[in-house]
Amino acid sequence: MTLRVRDLDESGLLARFVPLLPTGAATLVGPGDDAAVVAAPDGRYVVSTDVLVQDFHFRRHWSTGYDVGVRAAAQNLADVAAMGGRPTALVVGLAMPADLEVTWVEEFARGLADACETTGAAVVGGDLSGGSVLMVSVAVHGDLGGRPPVLRSGARPGDVVAHAGVRGFSAAGFALLDAGVAEPSAGAPGAEGALAPYVAGFLRPAPPLDAGPAAGAGGATAMLDVSDGLLRDAGRVATASGVDIDLDAEALEPYAAALATAADALAPVADAPGRGAGRALEWVLSGGEDHGLLATFPPGAALPDGFRRIGTVRAPAGAPRVTLDGAEPAVGPGWDHFRA
């Protein structure tokens, strides 16, 4: 018989959940009291939060508990990296239906642990609650190592625009699943096959977490986590900094080339507007949720490991905007949670 959440009381569920969570050196008081206590060695900490809701951010029949755990941690960890910080601690809220399998909760904890494994970040507390649908909230904390945070507002004309991480893999993976061209199992951990990187990239994004503090140490003038698409998020840097950001189409070609296999697999069903030959570039420019890092560096600065030059910061002609080879890009600006 399948063990379900309703078969356990809160302490029974916690007894299965807590031992699976990641631990870390910054934890002074961990789970089990009213609150945790975390070290903040330079007298400050970075904090951000992200919420994932079933049917809005993930689908039960696509994502396993493990996938949701990895994704919830990864997109939060990326926010710390985008400030130039190293993650230290997460607190996790989980609302769940009473008929949820207990193994889902355990796999969710394993996903959190694997996403945190190389970072040193711990889950230091949380809240398990009933709910009519699955809902995950994570608040993430990080350490700036004594450096100033890298904000969105520091880009200056002449700066180099650079990117770390993949582009469009999550969008491609979603498109493959949505079209039925790939099954979720094609992206399971350890799965091989031509479409595995895309499906896995959608189910379990892997942000370039080390690139964030490297950029901070390397003099980045602005940085953000690309969660809503390159054009849209570059626009946020442009607006916050009061500059234009001109992307270099040639520099984006390797990103599009990395998506060719997914685009080819979708070609037979690629009859909708904006699909077809331009699909890979559209994923590069507008695909969200890869959680790569977009950063600007002073002219001539050596780019830290993991970053690739993709454009230039320019003085704005009018309202700050994002251009592609100096012209208005011919694709949409990304997506919005309330309208999509």
Residues 191-250 that bind a copy of itself (CB under 8 A): 223-225, 240
Residue 330 binds a copy of itself (CB under 8 A): no
Least Å from the CB of residue 48 to a copy of itself: 4
Task: Please tell me whether 264 is known to bind a ligand.
Answer: no
The DSSP letter of residue 67 is H
* Closest approach of a copy of itself to the CB of residue 57, in Å: 7
Asked if 88 and 121 touch (Cβ cutoff 8 Å), the reply is yes
CA angle at 170 for the pair 75 and 130, rounded to the nearest 5°: 50
Q: Distance between CA 98 and CA 193 in Å, rounded?
A: 36
For a copy of itself, the binding residues in 7-26 under the rule CB under 8 A are 8-10, 13
Interface pick for a copy of itself out of 21, 22, 38, 229 (rule CB under 8 A): 38
The nearest distance, CB 327 to a copy of itself, in angstroms, is 25
204 appears as a binding residue in the annotation: no
**Is 34 annotated for ligand binding?**
yes
Binds a copy of itself (CB under 8 A): choice among 43, 146, 190, 273: 43
Of 24, 69, 70, 79, which lies in the binding site for a copy of itself, with binding defined by CB under 8 A? 79
Positive or negative, the CA dihedral 227, 228, 229, 231 is: negative
Task: Give the span between the Cα atoms of 300 and 156, in whole angstroms.
Answer: 13
CB 202 within 8 A of CB 322: no
For a copy of itself, which residue of 15, 25, 28, 217 counts as binding (CB under 8 A)? 28
User: Quick check: 269 binds a copy of itself (CB under 8 A)?
Assistant: no
Distance CA 81, CA 72 (A): 15
**Residue 225: CB minimum distance to a copy of itself, A:** 5
Stretch of 62-70, 76-84, 109-117, 185-193 contacting a copy of itself, by CB under 8 A: 76-84
Q: Was 126 annotated as part of a binding site?
A: yes
Whichever of 109 and 256 has its CB closer to a copy of itself, that residue is 109
Report the nearest approach of a copy of itself to the CB of residue 188 (Å): 27
Residues in the chain: 340
Give the residue, chosen from 21, 68, 74, 94, that forms a contact with a copy of itself under the rule CB under 8 A.
94
SS (H, E, C) 143-211: ECCCCCCCCCCCCCCCCEEEEECCCCHHHHHHHHHHCCCCCHHHHCCCCCCCCHHHHHHHHCCCCCCCH
Contact yes or no for 111/73 (Cβ under 8 A) = yes
Q: Using CB under 8 A, pick the residue from 15, 19, 25, 49 that binds a copy of itself.
A: 49
- Name the residue among 87, 107, 84 with its Cα closest to residue 96: 107
Q: Which residues are annotated as a binding site for ATP?
A: 126-127, 152, 227
